[in-house]
Amino acid sequence: MSIHTHDVIIVGGGPVGLTLAASLTRFVPGIGVAVVDRRAFAVPSDGRASALAAGVTRVFGALDLWPG
């Protein structure tokens, strides 16, 4: 009996952890990725705004995440 269920476990569901998870699943077909965080995954509803650097937009574009 095997207990192996994930190839990679990412601790932290912030922007970096989620981008790494998206990258791995996009470019390594069949990889098992888990993202764990001590807080529930949610989009803040407090009206905060984020600024993204040009490099980050290129990364999101390569992952086909930018249109979303």
pLDDT tier for residue 6 given thresholds of 50, 70 and 90: very high
Distance between CA 68 and CA 63 in Å, rounded? 11
Mean pLDDT of the chain: 85
**Does residue 59 contact residue 19 with C-beta atoms inside 8 Å?**
yes
For residue 68, what are the contacts with CB-CB under 8 A and spacing of at least 6?
Answer: none
pTM for the model stands at: 0.74
Q: For tokens 């952890």, name the residue.
A: 17
> Quick one: how far is CA 3 from the chain centroid?
24
What integer pLDDT is reported at residue 14 of this predicted model? 86
More confident residue, 66 or 47: 66
What integer pLDDT is reported at residue 65 of this predicted model? 85
